[in-house]
């Protein structure tokens, strides 16, 4: 079984913001596989279903971004998946809008939500899907930038990146993280 967690902030105030791109990908995945993400458990909004023949739990932690690890830890303790079957989806300011990066493991970088997850799970050996949101314009505070909404010409590439992230997650489950990396990393058209 897999736990697929999209990181974000709960509440209407944050709906559609850059920091909530993980929530958006979970919504797309839920829609594609007819999974209702509507139960509050383990400090998250969750839904259970099947993707590529595997049982999955889709999760949107409700702890606010910087404490995302609290929810992931509770989910992991309850469902007890292998650590490499936890997939975390989140925004990345170091990638241009529309770029996605799938990795089998690695550091959190400057992302506070991922820092919390890695700290509380006490490991970084799980796959992650990072979606580029771009860097803040000169003079704009990072916190203000990540809680702002996409505008203008950013919208379409980001939407396509989220759709590719969904396909990438399906590929991780069906064929493994290496295959997903070779097919979906970067921007632009799928290779296979």
Specify the pLDDT at position 192. Answer: 36
Domain boundary assignment for the chain: 2-184
Give CA–CA dist 52/172, Å, rounded. 10
Specify the pLDDT at position 168. Answer: 97
Q: What are 36-59's pLDDT values in tens digits? A: 999 999 999 999 999 999 999 999
Q: What are 63-104's pLDDT values in tens digits? A: 999 999 999 999 999 999 999 999 999 999 999 998 999 999
Is 60 in contact with 45 (CB distance < 8 Å)? yes
Give CA–CA dist 181/162, Å, rounded. 15
CATH superfamily of 2-184: Peptidyl-tRNA hydrolase (3.40.50.1470)
Specify the pLDDT at position 186. Answer: 84
Could you count the other beta carbons within 10 Å of the beta carbon of residue 71?
Answer: 26
pTM score:
0.95
> What number is the average pLDDT over the span 129-158?
93
Is 69 in contact with 119 (CB distance < 8 Å)? yes
Give Cα 62 to chain centroid, integer Å: 14
Q: Is-catalytic flag, 19?
A: yes
* Region for 40 from its dihedrals, namely left if φ exceeds 0, alpha if ψ lies in -120 to 50, beta otherwise: beta
Dihedral through CA 183, CA 162, CA 93, CA 3, nearest 10?
-80
Q: Which of 15, 19, 33, 111 is catalytic?
A: 19
């Amino acid at each position: 079984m897999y736990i697929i967690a999209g990181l974000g902030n709960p509440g209407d105030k944050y709906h559609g913001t850059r920091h909530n791109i993980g929530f958006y990908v979970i919504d797309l995945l839920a829609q594609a596989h007819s999974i209702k993400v509507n139960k509050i458990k383990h400090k998250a909004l969750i839904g259970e279903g099947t993707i590529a023949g595997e049982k999955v739990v889709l999760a949107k932690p409700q702890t606010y971004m910087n404490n995302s690890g609290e929810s992931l830890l509770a989910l992991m303790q309850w469902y007890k998946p292998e650590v490499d079957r936890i997939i975390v989806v989140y925004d990345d300011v170091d990638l241009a809008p529309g770029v996605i990066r799938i990795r089998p493991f690695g550091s959190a970088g400057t992302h506070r939500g991922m820092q919390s997850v890695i700290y509380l799970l006490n490991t970084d050996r799980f796959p992650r899907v990072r979606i580029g949101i771009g860097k803040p314009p000169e003079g704009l505070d990072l916190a203000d930038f990540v809680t702002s909404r996409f505008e203008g010409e950013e919208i379409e590439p980001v939407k396509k990146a989220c759709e590719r992230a969904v396909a990438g997650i399906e590929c991780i489950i069906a064929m493994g993280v290496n295959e997903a990396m070779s097919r979906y990393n970067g921007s632009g058209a799928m290779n296979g």
